[in-house]
Amino acid sequence: MSDDARVGAEDWTLPRRARPPLLGELVERIDEAVATARASEAAVMTVGAAALDAAEQAKRAAELAERASAAVAARPVLPQGRSPADQPSPLDATVAVRPGDMDDFTARADQLAERLSRLQRLPLSA
Q: Is the pLDDT of residue 124 over 70?
A: no
Rounded to two decimals, the pTM is: 0.41
How far apart (Å, rounded) are the C-alpha atoms in residues 16 and 43?
39
Whether the Cβ atoms of residue 113 and residue 122 lie closer than 8 Å to each other? no
Rounded to an integer, the average pLDDT of 1-16 is 69
The residue that leads in pLDDT, 90 or 7, is 7
Whether the Cβ atoms of residue 64 and residue 119 lie closer than 8 Å to each other? yes
- Predicted pLDDT at 122: 72
- Predicted pLDDT at 74: 76
Residue 78's pLDDT band, with cuts at 50, 70 and 90, is low
Rounded to an integer, the average pLDDT of 93-122 is 67
How many residues in the chain? 126
Mean residue pLDDT across the chain: 77
